[in-house]
Amino acid sequence: MRKVFYLLLCIIFSIVVLGNAEGSFGIVYDEDFKAAGVNGENLEKAKILMGKTSLEFKKLTLNKQQLELEANRYILDGAEKNLGNLDEIFDKIGVIEAKILKGKIRSQVEMFNYITRQQYVKAREYAVERISKEQQSRFKFQQESNIEVLKSTP
């Protein structure tokens, strides 16, 4: 019975944690940005930008992986006879990697139109502080649970 209780508690905790991660920038949540002085309109614009950037990054990554698989096929078929094809594929992979790096820089530059560097740093500090408190409370809960288990053990 106790195992079932702890399992349900873990599931509920996971749902709460995953639910809070919605609409966040990694470890930095919307509340952290708002506490750092970012207004709601700029935060929404930044989220839209991150969504577009993320989608573009995923597409480029998939294209790169597809080319890598094609290169592996040529290597397995015999690298010597497919050197021209391999050179062409690796050139395409280089172009994709350059696009990814350029996209990251451009999105960062554009992001600073909505969230300043100082606001981001402050929001990140709030996030680290929040995470630290969450970890402390989790550790305290685990200690209390262990003590209860020890008390109930004959």
The string of pLDDT tens digits covering residues 112-135 is 999 999 999 999 999 999 999 888
Q: Which amino acid is at 60?
A: L
> Could you read off the pLDDT of 55-104 as tens digits, one per residue?
999 999 999 999 999 999 999 999 999 999 999 999 999 999 999 999 99
With a pLDDT cut of 70, the percent of the chain lying above it is 74
Cα distances (Å, whole numbers) of residue 86 to 80, 91, 104: 10, 8, 27
- What pLDDT sits at residue 14? 55
Residue where the block lists tokens 């996971």 = 14
Give residue limits of the domains in the chain.
39-135
pTM for the model stands at 0.61
Cβ contacts of 86 within 8 Å, gap of 6 or more: 71, 74, 75, 79
Distance of CA 134 to the CA centre of its chain: 19
